Structure 1
Amino acid sequence: MSEQDKYKRRPVFHWAALLLFILIGAGFGTWQVMVHPDTPLSPEWNPVQPLVVSDPVTSLTRWKLRRALGDDAVCLAALATGAQAVVKPDFTESEQCFIAPQVTLSGVAGALVAPVNTRCQTALRLAMWTQHDLQPAARELFDQSLKQIEHFSSYSCRPIRTPLGGSGRISTHSTANSIDISGFVLADGTRLILLSDWEGAEVKSSFLRRANITACKWFRVTLGPEYNNLHADHFHLQHTGFGLCR
């Protein structure tokens, strides 16, 4: 059989080899575009660039956030782009109560936070929520920025509280995977407090209700005043969980 006949009998293999060569070349070219110092891709659209809190939200933001939340070092690097946080040694009180990786958080996305020891992942979710929803809502509804976020706590070694009393299950606060937000302060000093303003003045109530809804975009569990009386005075915002927005 001649070489020409052999070629004619195997056209599929030749076309497959050509297609594979084209795909490899395209993939290599795409990779080069992404990693080149003068890439035309903006950072928020570049999958090889890490999460930056202040970058505009794109279809890649969730993927970048998941990557950061799943790697402590990546989380700490991302948090540094949009928060005032001091990295602290891991803290252990018991097998069930600890903070790792631990940071002392004092500000997120231009808003002050009374210094609180929490987990990087909880802090990063708080920074994303503040940057992309709380600050825009404050500017839209009040024509000013958000100056401060008020909270009750993040870490607390205790069981879950229920309307019937204590529970045998350990709270996510015991690993600083949650933070309880009680209110906000605007640039002019106006306070927005869940306990008094959830059903209060229309504009204040609108901000708090928007805060409740948008927190669900960034946290796995969000519980507010509509959930039960135990949450009448705060949002329970949780890094871990199966997804609950109330």
Structure 2
Amino acid sequence: MDRFRFLLFLCCLLPSVADYSKDQHGYFMFSDFLCYLPSRNPKEVQYLIDWYFNMELTMQYNSSVGGWTGFTPAGLITAAKFNADKHDVVQRILERELVCQRSVEIIYETTETAKVEPNVSLQTVEDNDSTLECSALDFYPKHIRLTWFSNGQEVTEGVTFSDVLPNGDWTYQAHTYLTLTPGKQDHISCMVQHTSLKEPKIYNWESSKNHTENYIIGGVCALLLGAVFLCGGLIHYKLRRRSF
């Protein structure tokens, strides 16, 4: 599992974490406060502050560097001022300890026990009816297994897999493809195995032929049911006429 951990809830912990303000000229300033946790060792925690002015990164605080670095003329001036301010230096050290280092175990325990069940879809690839796609979306953690079956037997030929791709919100997606043999009408299914599932889930594919057959069967059943009601109504009508 990727060991990048970002404290997304810093705004809830410190009133000064997200400083978002506007002056009389309509200029905006805001900061992103981040904790980078490469391991469970609190000493390895990196504390970052990205300072923006009108969507432009002007300077950054990096605990590994030990101070601020300016990226624009105004950022260079402000960074030098902050680095010379003993109170700011102490404040950043305390923030790293109180907000980041003391939260390492909580963050790791939370992210390692979190589980999100994948959303699975099974369909033919657009513009290519001879290839099936089994997609697992928005799942967590990363590890997942997708397996194709034909008539109850695992399929390995004609199968390709994509990499497990991050969505950018800690969830992932994965895709696998199966090339169909022309003319064969096998029962195809995709099995999904993931830690969020108590047991593997199997998703069956229905071809257009199967859909057509289902519609025909449904139509015949509806006609037969209608005929039964019609006959019942006629019999009831004749019996009532005889009673008079």
Question: Which bin holds the TM-score, normalised by the shorter protein?
Answer: under 0.3
Larger relative contact order (C-alpha < 8 A, sep ≥ 6)? 1
**TM-score for both structures, normalised by structure 2:** 0.24
**Which of 1 and 2 has greater Rg?**
2
Instruction: Decide which structure has greater helix share.
Output: 1
